[in-house]
Structure 1
Amino acid sequence: MRHATTSAGRSRVRRVAAVPVALATLALTQTAAVADPATNGVPSVLDTLTPHHLTVADGIERTTYSSDSSEIVVRVSVIDPDLGAISLDSTVGAGVSVKEPTTAMLATVAAGGGAPYVGVNGGYSVSTKDEDDLTGKGIPEERSVPMVTSVQEDVVQGAGCLKGQNSVVLQHGRPHFTKITTALGITSDRNTADTADDATRVVDGVNRYPGWIVFCPQEAGDVVLPYRKDADGVVQRLDQYGNVIKGGPYYQDSSEIVVFTSAYGQKTPEPRHTPFVAADDADGVEVAVDASGRVTAVKSPRGGTAVPPGGMVLQGIGDDAQTGGGAQWLRDHAMVGAKLTYTQRATDLGVVGDPDDDVDLPLDPAYPSIDVVNGTHDLMRHGRVVAEPDDNVANDPRTAIGADGYGRTLLVTVTAREEGLRRGVPIYDLAKIMEDLGAVDALNLDGGGSTTFVVDGQVKNVLSDAGGIERPVYDAVYAGRGGHGLPAGGN
């Protein structure tokens, strides 16, 4: 994995596209979606703002929509890889387990030879420091856990929801908007003189704590933690003792195997980091696997192991072999010297509910070309607004990514105009902004204090956290130097 290289330095090879994007066709069939915000006749946020245009580089235009009479500013970057050597990628910075400010993540890309032109914060994750329960039991280390699907350079870094999650696939300088799910597995071949072994087991998660799952079930055995509603009807999540905890929803599974990839960036977590989830109490088993797939060490209790370069660490909980206990499976099949083969699939669900429309992304870490960034609300699909008026109506800062009818990528933020304010728009208004900008498809990314718009390494928007401090995030989306598009006038 090369997380600190320039776009030009990334070995992205033209292969069969992950999905049939057909953006050229969309440019012909969806031209009604490419509208001038000043003349489309639909009242919107942009109608009240004045645009200020700036060319960042060949193929990258930046526009700031603002007004002295408005508390918000809309910042837009339009990225056209057909007009310059421009990449469209994402990065997790130094490691997937630690949140970093967007500028710091983009700096790791710049360290290889040139800063990205523009970038925004990416998708959702949860930091355990943010998830301390309300009873005063702190969690000793801050570790970032991807909430849903994350793929970096063709390696799954965060497992997807069992039924898929809204995501954007970045490949060959273009975005594709869909739902992604993942399927992971491990096979053991001990190849000893007296024992033949070809045991296979599902891997339940990637780069997260065994036993607890954030946001959605990732396997059929995941069980939601209890909750209740207070007198105002607000849902309150409960820990294993019945105490109210923040965040959620959370799920737990007492029998799991979780893989930690070479991009994890820390030593593996120890048990009982999440006191609100009973399944995390298990000591479990941990095995270290080198780059060749050979098990080099086995330990219990789990935790505190550095991931071997190019290798992985597997943590297992659950001692009942009859029910597929993860810890017991590792004891039986992953002793020192055993050869383990790890398999990963990321599937584009296409038309959800129609398995015939499912397509596996062609993940190949040896020739990486695919990143996947997660989001929450679909804003637009196929030229139509799909967000609902009652979707998250808070006037919060927002970040979105979209694609217009000409095949260009739109990176958009909506934030306050003045320092010290926390302003934005509801989700539905964000969708209408994307529509007015000509988007055909669009996805809501992480927002609030995470919303960050960066140009040449400098934050351009008002930051909403106290003191104007840039909030650490899980990943970032950027347009960088050196890409897959044709130069202007190319064939």
Structure 2
Amino acid sequence: MNPATHSAGRSGMRRVAAVSVALATLALTQSAAVADPATNDIHSVLDSLSAHHPPMADGIERTTYSSDSSEIVVRVAVIDPDLGAISLDSTVGAGVSVKEPTTAMLATVGTTAKDAPYVGVNGGYSVSTKDEDDATGKSIPEERSVPMVTSVQEDVVQGAACLKGQNSVVLQHGRPHFTKITTTLGITSDQNTADTADDATRVVDAVNRYPGWIPFCPQEVGDRPLPFTTDANGEVKRLDQYGNVIKGGPYYQDYSEIVAFTPAYGQKTPEPRHTPFVAADDADGVEVAVDASGRVTAVKSPRGGMAIPAGGMVLQGIGDDAQSGGGAQWLRDHAMVGAKLTYTQRATDLGVVEDPTDDVDLPLDPAYPSIDVVNGTHDLMRNGKVVAEPADNVANDPRTAIGADGWGRTLLVTVTAKDQGLRRGVPIYDLAKIMEDLGAVDALNLDGGGSTTFVVDGQVKNVLSDPGGVERPVYDAVYAGRGGHGLPAGGN
């Protein structure tokens, strides 16, 4: 039997059954006339559907599902590190502050036959300020990408989680783990010149985003939503500091923050008023450079434009009221040149069930990195059951998902249009059913729409839905790379 055109033996029977149901689901989701697939005859649809298995490396199965009668294509990569020297990782490309196309990100991993990723997809969610401006017409000087929620790269937190955690996938030792992650960040100083003599430790509110501006969800107690109004149609509109409606959101603000910028940020630190629609970002504040040993080497106010030391970080603070935990005042009091700062980071696995006794910290160790975390929105499947709801995001948009099947293999999946010029996909619930039909037991929805990208050997394979078929820049990417992982300590 030719392995390039058929599934591996141990999965063949299960895969045939899964494919039949999956393809039936796909065809039915394309017809608005089909209100309830359970009441319709699907056998005639199955007869017109087919699966194609392009050749791939040992340990990776690729399948493309399509039919003449359907406007969508589903692409699947099944990754099994037991059958080949295959890694499972993510990358942010050149830096976390600048979005890049998925192909460009994967090219930073390698471009030769010895190091280029085999297959990859776009990753999690972020926002960008590139096109924003305020009521006076001030334009943002350059794009600054901000992770909406959790991001961990090589055991370093690059984006803080929501206060109550965020649906995420942990990649370690070639396997995915689906859970909810929260982060805890802090800074301690050996220097204290303030009148209050015992406040040498403080929470760090976030990583690699603008002080005062929080996209998507609260990250610390005290983060407040931007003002809003309700229009005549009952639609909620967020307002900027001038009372103008702003796009996107939800957004939150905090006038008393410390934000850490890591070397992975990839640019000099942002200046005040970089997000002009959030009043909290107007504060001049202060920033300090911290070298690889933890020593403060420079203090600057107003903040902005500082290079991030290799192996170190820059801390930006806003808020001058020490009594209310003002970040700028804390840095002035505790982070003078020569002070020694100790930065701490935790990423906590909250588990599937909301039970605090089950919470466990991920073993982050930047000296011996093994952990990446990629954020997502909707959980699709947990423990073999579909958990997405039929009412979840019902638009037929392009979708990207990551899952794990019963053998612990990773599934990278995209659903896009078959023909260029179309924007097609499936609702979130149908995406969950597709993952179930493919044999997944756990699955998470990643960024979709124009971000959905399926790359093989450096080449985009899917139809891109943005105008002109242009590849959209994204925050990070998930990929199967060359070189496997050994078992973790204590493994059998």
Q: What's the TM-score once normalised by structure 1's chain length?
A: 0.89
Name the structure 2 match of 1:13: none
The 1:146–1:426 alpha-carbon spacing in structure 2 relative to 1, beyond 3 Å, is: same
Q: Which runs of 4+ in 1 moved over 6 A?
A: 32-35
The 1-side partners of 2:355 and 2:60 are apart by 37
Residue aligning to 2:202: 201
**What is the count of residue pairs matched by the alignment?**
455
Residues 89 and 372 in structure 2, CA contact (< 8 A), matched pair in contact too = yes
Asked whether the 8 Å contact 1:36–1:438 carries over to 2, the reply is no
Aligned residue number for residue 412 of structure 2 = 411
TM-score where L is the length of structure 2:
0.89
Identity %: 86
2:439 alignment partner AA: G
Correspondence list, 1:187-198, <5 A = 187-190=188-191
Shift of 1:342: 0.3
Q: In structure 1, what is the equivalent of residue 75 of structure 2?
A: 75
- Cα distance in 2 for residues equivalent to 1:312 and 1:126: 22
CA distance in 1, matches of 2:452, 2:281: 32
C-alpha distance in 2 between matches for 1:417 and 1:307 = 44
Equivalent pair of 1:160/1:180 in contact (CA under 8 Å): yes
Q: Distance in 1 between matches of 2:199 and 2:217?
A: 31
103-112 or 314-323, larger mean C-alpha shift: 103-112
Return the alpha-carbon distance in structure 2 between the equivalents of residues 134 and 64 of structure 1: 48
**2:43 alignment counterpart:** none
Confirm or deny: 8 A CA contact 2:224 2:254 kept in the other structure. yes
Aligned pairs for 1:28-427 (under 5 A) are: 36-40=17-21, 43-45=24-26, 47=46, 49-110=49-110, 113-132=114-133, 136-190=137-191, 199-427=200-428
SS of residue in 1 equivalent to 2:55: strand
SS in 1 for 2:332: helix
C-alpha displacement of 1:111: 5.0
Letter of the 1:58 counterpart? D
Aligned-residue Cα RMSD (Å) equals 2.2
Contact 1:214 1:251 in 2 (8 A): yes
Quick check: 2:22–2:433 contact (8 Å CA) kept in 1? Answer: no
| Distance in 2 (alpha carbons) for counterparts of 1:41 and 1:416 | 16
Contact map agreement 2:19 2:438 (CA 8 A) in 1: no
Distance in 1 separating the partners of 2:19 and 2:313: 53
User: Within 2, Cα distance between the matches of 1:291 and 1:350?
Assistant: 33
SS for the counterpart of 1:56 is coil
Contact 1:129 1:142 survives alignment (8 Å) = yes
Cα gap change, 1:449 to 1:39, in 2 (>3 Å) = closer
Instruction: State the AA in 1 paired with 2:105.
Output: M
Q: Write the deviation string for residues 227-284 of structure 1: whole angstroms up to 9, x where unpaired.
A: 2232333221111222100000000000000000011100000000111101000000
Is the contact between residue 34 and residue 405 of structure 1 (CA under 8 Å) also seen in structure 2?
no
Show the counterpart of 1:467: 468
- Greater mean alpha carbon deviation, residues 350-359 or residues 265-274: 350-359
Correspondence 1:445-464 to 2 at 5 A: 445-464=446-465
* Partners of 1:353 and 1:245 in 2: CA distance: 34
**Stretch of structure 1 that moved more, 182-191 or 105-114:** 105-114
Q: Give the Cα separation in 1 of the matches to 2:138 and 2:192.
A: 46
CA distance in 1, matches of 2:401, 2:83: 23
* 3-state SS in 1 of match to 2:280: helix
Answer yes or no: is the 8 Å Cα contact 1:191–1:338 preserved in 2: no
Aligned partners of 2:466 and 2:338: how far apart in 1? Answer: 50
Question: Does the residue aligned with 2:53 lie in a helix, a strand or coil?
Answer: strand
Kindly state the Cα deviation for residue 36 of structure 1 after the two structures are TM-superposed: 2.0
Residue 37 of structure 1 aligns with an amino acid whose one-letter code is A
Partners of 1:447 and 1:134 lie apart in 2 by 31
CA distance in 1, matches of 2:16, 2:373: 28
Post-superposition Cα deviations, 1:125-147, rounded to whole Å, max 9, x if no partner, equal 00111444687443222100000
Q: Does the Cα contact within 8 Å between 2:131 and 2:140 map onto a contact in 1?
A: no
Q: Which has the higher contact order (CA 8 A, sep 6+)?
A: 1
Q: Which stretch shifts more, 348-357 or 379-388?
A: 348-357
- Aligned-residue offset at 1:68: 1.5
Cα deviation 1:105-129 (Å, max 9, x = unaligned): 0000005852100000000000111
Q: Secondary structure at the match of 1:36?
A: helix
Instruction: Give the corresponding residue for 2:36.
Output: none
Is the contact between residue 22 and residue 434 of structure 2 (CA under 8 Å) also seen in structure 1? no
The 8 Å contact of residues 132 and 246 in structure 1, kept in 2 or not, is answered as no
Equivalent-residue separation in structure 2 for 1:441 and 1:353 (angstroms): 17
For each residue in 1:425-450, what CA deviation from the matched residue of structure 2 results, as whole angstroms up to 9, or x when unmatched?
11111111101000000000000000
Q: Within 2, Cα distance between the matches of 1:400 and 1:279? A: 35
Offset of 1:41 from its aligned partner?
Answer: 9.4
Q: Does the CA-based 8 Å contact 1:188-1:197 persist in structure 2?
A: no
| Aligned partners of 1:398 and 1:415 also within 8 Å | yes
Distance in 2, matches of 1:351 and 1:64, equals 31
Q: Secondary structure at the match of 2:264?
A: coil
- Cα distance in 1 for partners of 2:357, 2:15 equals 31
The answer to which of 37-46 and 105-114 deviates more is: 37-46
Q: C-alpha distance in 2, partners of 1:75/1:391?
A: 22
Q: Hey, what's the Cα distance between the residues in 2 that align with 1:230 and 1:244?
A: 11
Aligned amino acid, residue 441 of structure 1 = D
Structure 2 residue ranges without an equivalent (≥5): 1-12, 28-45
Query: How far does the alpha carbon of each residue in 1:386-441 deviate from its partner, in whole angstroms, 9 at most, with x for none?
Result: 11111111111000000001111000000010111111111111111101000000
Greater alpha carbon shift after TM alignment, 372-381 vs 51-60: 51-60
Secondary structure of 1:216's partner?
A: coil
SS for the counterpart of 1:45 is helix
